[in-house]
Chain A
Amino acid sequence: AQKITQTQPGMFVQEKEAVTLDCTYDTSDPSYGLFWYKQPSSGEMIFLIYQGSYDQQNATEGRYSLNFQKARKSANLVISASQLGDSAMYFCAMRERSNTGKLIFGQGTTLQVKP
């Protein structure tokens, strides 16, 4: 069963606008962590933001925020004031306490920022 689902293969956003990248997850473990990574065309995987399953508030890191809706099992990434350098592939991922701590990734969303 797919544990992490990213339904948007590709997205476009105008420079300086905000964009939301969707992520839903599936787990029966009460303890888990949700992560977003950015992969530019150069290939490296860059950690962006983390949300814990017990966190009461949505995580924020600079222009990145995570819209965490636990009951819906969704963890959408919001990028505010998009920049050309935000053009990349974005991956949602999950670590479960019961599952060796490995990261399980979604299929990714390609974001293109238009000038």
Chain B
Amino acid sequence: GENVEQHPSTLSVQEGDSAVIKCTYSDSASNYFPWYKQELGKRPQLIIDIRSNVGEKKDQRIAVTLNKTAKHFSLHITETQPEDSAVYFCAAPYSSASKIIFGSGTRLSIRP
């Protein structure tokens, strides 16, 4: 069925350490995988996305990896900073890209 599983639901890391969030999708035809960041009281904003023709994409401290065979993709944040504290959502299209399904979110906290 239409489902995007996201883990963990909460994550606490020491400032400067790395954080990894993982998502698994169900539709093998999915070909676009965005990650959104939602700070407290604010709207979600795209931070990085990847299309199925590449396996990895990086943007400064943020990277996303995609394993189409296993149908999972991951967000990697290195050298975490206090401003990285937020809820992160992964997403994947479903049913011939007719709609997008979001994961349940990961609340990331950065400890000083």
The answer to whether A and B assemble together is no
